[in-house]
Amino acid sequence: MKETIAIIGAGNMGTAFYKGVREHLNRVRINLCDKNMEKLTALDAEHIYTDPAKAVAEASVVLLAVKPQSAQALLAPLSPALKHHLIISIMAGISITTLEQWTGATAVVRAMPNLPAQVARGLTGWTASAGTDDKERAFVKELFLSVGQEIELENESMLDSLTPLSGSGPAYFFLLAELIAAKAIKEGFTEKQANLIARETLIGSALLLDEDPRGVRDMRIAVTSKAGVTEAALRSLNDAKFENIFAEAIDRAIARSRELNA
């Protein structure tokens, strides 16, 4: 008999995990649940539910991929059935202690994946409750590897640091692309050309970083010719204290992440 995971929520991240499990963990049955039937039928899933109670009834693992503000109301009627489940939450701001209280479960994992999980290149940081055994931890690793890479964190507070770095990280990448495109337009390129410049420069650089064994610092130095164009740009960023500005932005995001914890 197949192990069964109930994925509650078929939004962007729930869908990413559904596809990852379907492709890489074919020994696992997936009960996919969402209140929106159109989302479920669009995925051509085999086992679909609009009732969470039915989705979790025969599952041993529950992945919570719903909005944090709706979680308590969702879990309240389910808690009697969840005590012996492995609960995995990818909701921001909901602590393990709170999840234990809401579900009655002792095996609880809190995780922070990021958007590239949608293309199986995500990074998921996670931490588990003391009641999570080795077999359950092994399954959690498999689950997160199905959508990219994973990092098991030493303590839950590190998720507050990881969220602005990895969880929010794609936004910084997209902002840089946006700024490159905007500047290209000001320099006389068409919008189509500007977008191509931004996209291909960043995508190509990311692929190079993926394939080149050098570290990011060495690669940055390699592309920065002495007294050249790139050095002039980087010197301007240094003069503007870009490193300090970026560090302050991350610090503010970490503080906000801690404020949102429940």
Q: What is the pLDDT of residues 133-168, one digit of tens each?
A: 999 999 999 999 999 999 999 999 999 999 999 999
Q: How high is the pLDDT of residue 158?
A: 95
For residues 85 and 110, membership in a common domain is answered with: yes
Tokens of 207: 């692929």
* 228 Cβ neighbours under 8 A, 6+ residues apart: none
Domain boundary among 128, 155, 182: 155
- How far apart CA 110 and CA 102 sit, in angstroms, is 14
Domain boundary among 108, 125, 155: 155
Q: Is residue 164 part of a domain?
A: no
Instruction: Calculate mean pLDDT across residues 111-124.
Output: 97
Beta strands across the sheet bearing 122-128: 48-49, 28-33, 3-8, 61-64, 86-89, 107-112, 122-128, 148-152
What are the backbone angles phi and psi of residue 108, rounded to the nearest 5°? -130, 130
For residues 13 and 140, membership in a common domain is answered with: yes
Q: How high is the pLDDT of residue 44?
A: 87
For residues 216 and 122, membership in a common domain is answered with: no
Q: Is residue 18 part of a domain?
A: yes
Greater confidence (1 vs 7) lies with: 7
CATH number of residue 205's parent domain: 1.10.3730.10
User: Where in the sequence is the domain holding 46, given as residue range(s)?
Assistant: 3-155
Q: Is residue 162 part of a domain?
A: no
- How far apart CA 111 and CA 94 sit, in angstroms, is 10
Q: How high is the pLDDT of residue 59?
A: 96
For residues 118 and 193, membership in a common domain is answered with: no
* pTM as predicted: 0.91
Name the helix (H) or strand (E) containing 68. helix 68-75
Q: What is the chain's percent helix, strand, coil content, to nearest 5?
A: 55, 15, 30
- How far apart CA 53 and CA 74 sit, in angstroms, is 10
Q: How high is the pLDDT of residue 119?
A: 96
CATH number of residue 62's parent domain: 3.40.50.720
* 24 Cβ neighbours under 8 A, 6+ residues apart: 142, 145, 146
Tokens of 228: 């050249």
For residues 142 and 192, membership in a common domain is answered with: no
For residues 32 and 146, membership in a common domain is answered with: yes
Q: How high is the pLDDT of residue 1?
A: 45
Instruction: Calculate mean pLDDT across residues 182-194.
Output: 98
- How far apart CA 201 and CA 147 sit, in angstroms, is 25
Q: What is the pLDDT of residues 201-253, one digit of tens each?
A: 999 999 999 999 999 999 999 999 999 999 999 999 999 999 999 999 999 99
> How many domains is the chain partitioned into structurally?
2
| Confidence at 261, pLDDT banded by 50, 70, 90 | confident
Q: Is residue 163 part of a domain?
A: no
Domain boundary among 155, 187, 222: 155
Q: What is the pLDDT of residues 16-72, one digit of tens each?
A: 999 999 999 989 999 999 999 999 999 989 999 999 999 999 899 999 999 999 999
For residues 139 and 214, membership in a common domain is answered with: no
Q: Is residue 200 part of a domain?
A: yes
For residues 42 and 78, membership in a common domain is answered with: yes
Q: How high is the pLDDT of residue 108?
A: 98
Q: Is residue 255 part of a domain?
A: yes
> Side chain identity at 91, as an amino acid letter?
M
Q: How high is the pLDDT of residue 174?
A: 98
Q: Is residue 96 part of a domain?
A: yes
